[in-house]
Homo-oligomer: A and B are copies of this chain.
Amino acid sequence: MKSSKKIKREEFIRICKLHGLKITPQRMAIYEEVTGSSGHPSAEIIYRKIKRKYPGISFDTVNRTLLTFSDIGLLQIVEGYGEPKRFDANTQDHHHFRCLRCGSIIDVYHKRYDELEIPAEIETHHKVIRKRVVLEGICKQCRER
């Protein structure tokens, strides 16, 4: 029986080839790291973690690769307000709650949000590719302090 890690790697290779991207050790490491981390890490955080196991890697490669992955749909960038970009390898349809105090980002799964209709005056003029609900406020941990 195949491990889920191996299936994930094969899927990764498939999508890279589909987009004409070479399979490099750096890309593998970055993909494993970002899919393995449950949160919504920044490029800097991902860079630091990978550097432990792979000291030669450069920040530029990590950042460029994350943007490439975002272009080909392997991951997404979470909506924000100009702080470091936060990456998300969760490709399921989902939304986010963002804490205005500590910056933590929590996944929100809600079927009604996935089914939102697009207003007619937008739909007739523009092409909508993505729709998301963004919730903001103060998270549990921050409230308790």
Binding site for B on A (CB under 8 A): 77, 79-85, 97, 99-100, 106, 108-110, 112-113, 116-119, 122, 125-140, 143
Partner of A117, one of B80, B85, B112, B131: B112
Partner of A137, one of B119, B126, B138: B126
Partner of A138, one of B79, B85, B127: B127
The interface residues of chain B lying within 8 Å CB-to-CB of A106 are: 122, 126
Number of copies: 2
Q: Do B97 and A128 touch (CB < 8 A)?
A: yes
Q: Which residue of B lies closest to A100 (CB)?
A: B129
Cα of A117 to Cα of B135 in the assembled complex, Å: 11
Partner of A135, one of B80, B130, B140: B130
Q: Do B127 and A137 touch (CB < 8 A)?
A: yes
Residue among A106, A108, A125, A126 with the most chain B CB within 10 A?
A126
